[in-house]
Amino acid sequence: MSEAARRQRAEDSRILTEAECRQILERAHAMARGGGDTGVSIKSWWQGELRWARNRASLSSDRRNIEVTVIRKTSSGNQGSVVINQVDDIALEAAVRTAERISLMRTGPSDPGFVPKVPEYVRPPSAPIWSEATVGLDAGTRAEVARKMIAPAEAEGFYSAGYLEVRAAAAATYTTAYRDLLTGEYSPVENPYIRWTQAQCSNTVRDATGMGSGWAGLSSYDWERIGSESDALAERAVQKCKASRNPVALEPGRYTVILEPQAVADLIESLVTLLGASGHRGRESAENPLMEHPFQLGYDNATGLMLSKMGLKVVDERITIEHDPMDPRLGIVMSPLERPGPVTWIENGVLKRLGHNFNTGIEALDGINGLHQLRGGTGYRMSGGDTSMEEMIRTTRRGLLVTRFSNIPALPLDSSSMLTTGLTRDGLWLIENGEITRAVRNFRFTESPLFMLNNVEQIGEAVPVFRPTKKETGELTPAIVPPIKARDFSFTSLSDAV
Amino acid sequence: MSLSRRDLLKITMKAGAGAAVLSGIPGPLLAQLGGVLPESVQSIRDPMIKELALRAVEAARGAGASYVDVRLTRTRQFGYGGRIEGLVVGVRSLVNGYWGFSSGRLWTPDEVARLGRESVGQARALAIGPVREVDLAAVPTPVDEHWTMPVEIDPFEEVSEEEVSDFLGGLKYFIEAHPNFEVPSSPLATFVVQEKAFASSEGAYCTQRLHRSSGAVVLRLKKNGRELSRGLDTLTPAGLGWELFKGQPIREQIRRLMDEMEEDFAMPVKPVEVGRYDVVCDARTIVNLVESTLGTATQLDRALGFEANASGTSYLNAPLEMLGSFEVGAPLLTLTANRSEQGGAATVAWDDEGVRPDEFALVREGVLQDFQTTRESAAWLAGNTKASREIRSNGCATAPTAVEAPLTHTPNLRVAPGSEAVDFDDLVSGIEEGLAVKDMDVSMDFQGLNGMGQGRVYEVKDGKRVAIVAGAGFLFRAPELWKRLVALGGEASMRRYGMASSKGEPEQTTYHSVSAPPAVFEEFTVIDPRRKA
């Protein structure tokens, strides 16, 4: 570790400590007037960033901030809160007062009279999510990594643009509520202090005439996994740029596609978020006849209730999608209330679990005790297969190899089938009789991830992909995804964008 | 117990050297402390803030920066999204042609000095690389100037949350009093005020107080087993105060929207027939089309590949050659940019580099005239001799708050109206056979080249909208789209919409307004976007 990094660690005040977070609650509660309970939800973050374009670094940054939600529920009111980023006495007191005022302003249903004994919530075991290598990656080292990534592109006469970011973040939610009812250390409405790191590195290499473009990227909680790959990421982007020049235009139509892991991740993103609770997703939505949800089955004649497809096969039986906090490659932030342990969403093609809210029936919990909310997949792992990329290509008579997809809108074209659209980007090649023959102009596709996952021919080894969380306070969203060969993938029009 | 301002100052002094002194005197939050109303606290003008800013500049210069700028921002928000307040400070330094940036949340002398030194450290880490030339286009420096965005009713000084809540509740009751109409989600309002200070090593110092207000009112019509939801479009983000709500005839707008919805409900529905049509687009559609094509493509950093790894590139990718000569549209098209229009979401007195933004033409009579620039990027256009203006930043450097570094963000845009006093319905009456579209949403590819739009589409026959066309998508190529512009609405038909735009790594979001009249395109390609191959 460099001297600068050592110094930085010694006086590391970049994110708040557990003690500091607890103190904020205690101080806020001490300032409270009007009885009732006080809560705080605290997020703090630090980021080191390096952005480059046209083969030169544009900006190197060191940024940090906190976000404290001060919550007051006075004896005679409902919940009121304010968000601040200063925690000195005056600011905190002013925030507590404002939260109290909002609390008194709010009318609405109040507490039930009886609150049962609250069970203990322990944060389930998980693989590490904090890396010293990430948090210690200083500006000098970042600059060196970037220089080494730019060099091969510049040597070829190409333009490299890219971004390197390391982040440390911490979150905690504490409340004075339910203290006398606790059986464990934390109440169900608290999230004990947790800290994590995230690192990401990506680069786009473009030909000077604008006719070729290649991309490669990786994210992980641990910089070491990326640092050892950064040269390879640059090489891959350069090679794709070279190989993507002078593309030919093909007829739109249905093609067999070999989707690289990044392309698979891009395409199934909307499917993965659909597994979660809240909004138009999760179990409540699937069982709500007023919503269009791909996992809706139909009405049950006996009860008149809408049934979901839980327990039914929804995709190819080789596909399993799970949330496994013990996988060292995943690094998922566990919050005891919302993601209590490993969850298998889809197992061998069958839909096993959907996220649900607090008020969904106890039978939905099967095996997990108590009252909780099951949020959807933040990080996930998709099962892989044995087929290598070379084998996939070799066994394709005619198909397209896709690097990644882009510009997929947030809302699908059709909610029931999840039909969506988007574009191929940074490398598309034609495969003929087992060999890559030509670079191809980008296509717009109109396809459904569910359809693709039901037309799987071969699956390769699952690897970590580029899926960083953009928001500084956001939880980790890693993914392990395999390359997939699928048939009848629908490309609807040409796009001459490069 | 009420505290007088003097008492608070005493507490502040006791709080110690490390305390964020100024953060301890938040304006309206004080008003909650038992009804003590302070004098209208223009706290951003406090000389202590200038001292902090200058100390940061000093520290950075002392560490070897050739140019430094500092931003301090205090941002407050209330309404939908809750009550939020944040104080942040950021320092940007230039060393040997490389930029470094450092930001944090503590408005203290020690911390701003640390940020100053840190930003230089960040730049130095890069400066070992190949030589880089950075030429900052010269600008007049504001010295001790202040600007407050003029609003009629300041939501943070003159409006209480109860009043807002009552007003919105009143709208809900108003809507639900009408048969068949209901409110699927409560009406919303959000108010933001940002006070900012800017200082640079060139001696600039200026402060501003800026507002942004927005809201949403959604109606649902339920009749005969069908339903239709639609929102008011007059509450998009704007540089206005409470007058955004009180100063507009919202109830009339709601009634008009209800009539439109009833009208649409009664229209027959036809499936889309692919083909090429003359299409009349309402103002909002033109706004979205401009935003997605020219508004984005003319960001100079994007045009030169500085967003390639993020949101993408631009089809206007040879700025030096294209300026002054490249035809981007029909001669009917004139597109200007500004950061001065009253109520514009991007309206400021100085941008985040202390530049006073001028009004400038991006496109004049179909020909590209200029790009959106900052001090550094303006100098990149020095090689072009065809453009009709001198080399200076257009004032497009913006950062959402001081914790982010400024980037080139789109300013307010304005599509010039036609000379005839015609509106959307007049334009429709001129179409024998074609389509009309309202509220088109547009999505582009990563080069801003090919786009697809979807909206509320009507079949037009003999100058009248006769049916709703279901499932239509509009396909276009940006370089060709504006060349097919054949008619524009008049001045009175202009409408303005505020919107968010995101770019950068890390991603940042800013706001601006776009004004446009309705317009007609010929030979617009219409497809069925749901049809698979």
- pLDDT in 10s for each residue of chain A, 498 residues: 565 555 544 446 899 999 999 999 999 999 999 889 999 999 999 999 999 999 999 999 999 999 999 999 998 888 899 999 999 999 999 999 999 998 988 776 665 555 666 666 667 788 999 999 999 999 999 999 999 999 999 999 999 999 999 999 999 999 998 787 777 777 767 888 999 999 999 999 999 988 899 999 999 999 999 999 999 999 999 999 999 999 999 999 999 999 999 999 999 998 888 876 555 567 777 788 777 888 888 888 888 888 889 899 999 999 999 888 889 998 888 766 565 678 888 999 999 888 776 555 544 444 444 444 556 557 899 999 999 999 999 999 999 999 999 999 888 899 889 999 999 999 999 999 999 999 999 999 999 999 999 999 999 999 999 999 999 998 898 999 999 999 999 999 998 899
Residue numbers in B near A94 (CB within 8 A): 24, 26, 29-30, 32-33
Contact across the interface for A53 and B308, Cβ inside 8 Å: yes
B491 touches chain A (CB under 8 A): no
Residue of A15, A45, A59 for testing the chain B interface, max B β-carbons within 10 Å: A59
Largest pairwise CA distance in chain A: 77
Residue type, A450: L
Residue numbers in B near A210 (CB within 8 A): 313, 317
pLDDT, position A303: 85
Q: For residue B332, is pLDDT > 80?
A: yes
Contact across the interface for B309 and A204, Cβ inside 8 Å: yes
pLDDT, position B14: 37
A281 touches chain B (CB under 8 A): no
Contact across the interface for B530 and A446, Cβ inside 8 Å: yes
Q: Which among A406, A462, A459, A402 is positioned nearest to A436, based on CA atoms?
A: A402
B117: left (phi over 0), alpha (psi -120 to 50) or beta: alpha
Select the residue of A61, A97, A105 nearest B33 (Cβ to Cβ).
Answer: A97
pLDDT, position B135: 85
B86 touches chain A (CB under 8 A): yes
Q: Do residues A87 and A24 make contact, with C-beta atoms less than 8 angstroms apart?
A: yes
pLDDT, position A186: 75
Average pLDDT over residues B271-275: 95
Q: How far is B108 from chain A (nearest CA, A)?
A: 12
Nearest CA in chain B to A93: B24
| Two tokens, residue B136 | 């900052």
Residue numbers in A near B29 (CB within 8 A): 94-95, 97-98
pLDDT, position A479: 94
Question: What ipTM does the predicted assembly reach?
Answer: 0.92
Contact across the interface for A143 and B405, Cβ inside 8 Å: no
Contact across the interface for A60 and B123, Cβ inside 8 Å: yes
Q: For residue B524, is pLDDT > 70?
A: yes
pLDDT, position B139: 86
Q: Parallel, antiparallel, or unpaired for β B485-488 and B519-527?
A: antiparallel
Q: Do residues B218 and B230 make contact, with C-beta atoms less than 8 angstroms apart?
A: yes
Average pLDDT over residues B326-353: 97
Q: Which among A117, A41, A113 is positioned nearest to A72, based on CA atoms?
A: A41
B7 pLDDT band, cuts 50/70/90, is: very low
Higher-pLDDT residue of B15, B477: B477
Residue numbers in B near A442 (CB within 8 A): 445
CA A61 to chain centre: 23
pLDDT, position B41: 36
Q: Do residues A397 and A404 make contact, with C-beta atoms less than 8 angstroms apart?
A: no
Label residue B402 exposed, middle or buried (CB < 10 Å: 0-12, 13-18, 19+): buried
pLDDT, position B329: 97
Nearest CA in chain B to A448: B532
A63 touches chain B (CB under 8 A): yes
User: Is the peptide bond preceding residue A289 cis, with omega within 30 degrees of 0?
Assistant: no
Average pLDDT over residues B103-124: 96
A179 touches chain B (CB under 8 A): no
| Two tokens, residue B100 | 């470094």
- The predicted-structure confidence for B134-173, as pLDDT tens digits, reads as follows 888 888 899 999 999 999 999 999 998 889 999 999 999 9
Nearest CA in chain A to B88: A65
- The predicted-structure confidence for B410-452, as pLDDT tens digits, reads as follows 999 999 999 999 999 999 999 999 999 999 999 999 999 999 9
Q: How far is A433 from chain B (nearest CA, A)?
A: 23
A438 touches chain B (CB under 8 A): no
**pTM here?**
0.92
Residue numbers in A near B27 (CB within 8 A): none
pLDDT, position A116: 60
Contacts of B309 (CB under 8 A, 6+ apart): A53, A161, A162, A163, A202, A203, A204, A215, B505
Average pLDDT over residues B260-280: 96
- The predicted-structure confidence for B391-412, as pLDDT tens digits, reads as follows 789 999 999 999 999 999 999 9
Contact across the interface for B529 and A490, Cβ inside 8 Å: no
Residue of A50, A90, A104 for testing the chain B interface, max B β-carbons within 10 Å: A90
Q: Which among B304, B308, B293 is positioned nearest to B448, based on CA atoms?
A: B293
Q: How far is A293 from chain B (nearest CA, A)?
A: 17
- The predicted-structure confidence for B37-62, as pLDDT tens digits, reads as follows 223 334 899 999 999 999 999 999 99
Residue numbers in B near A51 (CB within 8 A): 505
Domain edges within chain A: 3-206, 247-498
Residue numbers in B near A419 (CB within 8 A): 530, 532
Q: Do residues B341 and B349 make contact, with C-beta atoms less than 8 angstroms apart?
A: no
Label residue B133 exposed, middle or buried (CB < 10 Å: 0-12, 13-18, 19+): exposed
Find the range with the poorest average confidence among A457-461, B31-35, B422-426, B497-501. B31-35
Contact across the interface for B447 and A58, Cβ inside 8 Å: no
| Two tokens, residue B272 | 């889309």
Residue numbers in B near A165 (CB within 8 A): 505-506
Residue of A12, A98, A442 for testing the chain B interface, max B β-carbons within 10 Å: A98
In this structure, the number of other CB atoms found within 10 A of the CB of residue B249 comes to 10
Q: Do residues A80 and A104 make contact, with C-beta atoms less than 8 angstroms apart?
A: yes
Nearest CA in chain B to A154: B130
A266 touches chain B (CB under 8 A): no
Residue numbers in B near A424 (CB within 8 A): none
Contact across the interface for A53 and B105, Cβ inside 8 Å: no
B129 touches chain A (CB under 8 A): yes
d(CA A172, CA A179): 17
Find the range with the poorest average confidence among A137-146, A243-252, B123-132, B207-216. B123-132
Fold of A3-206: PmbA/TldD fold (3.30.2290)
Contacts of A175 (CB under 8 A, 6+ apart): A25, A37, A38, A39, A40, A71, A187, A189, A190
Contact across the interface for B531 and A88, Cβ inside 8 Å: no
Residue of B29, B160, B352 for testing the chain A interface, max A β-carbons within 10 Å: B29
Collapsed DSSP state (helix, strand, coil) of residue A305: coil
Select the residue of B8, B20, B310 nearest A86 (Cβ to Cβ).
Answer: B20
Select the residue of B104, B126, B531 nearest A64 (Cβ to Cβ).
Answer: B104
Q: Do residues A343 and A323 make contact, with C-beta atoms less than 8 angstroms apart?
A: yes
pLDDT, position B35: 26
B128 touches chain A (CB under 8 A): yes
Torsion angle (degrees, nearest 10) of CA A391, A394, A400, A404: 30
pLDDT, position A336: 60
Select the residue of B118, B161, B305 nearest A54 (Cβ to Cβ).
Answer: B305
pLDDT, position B28: 39
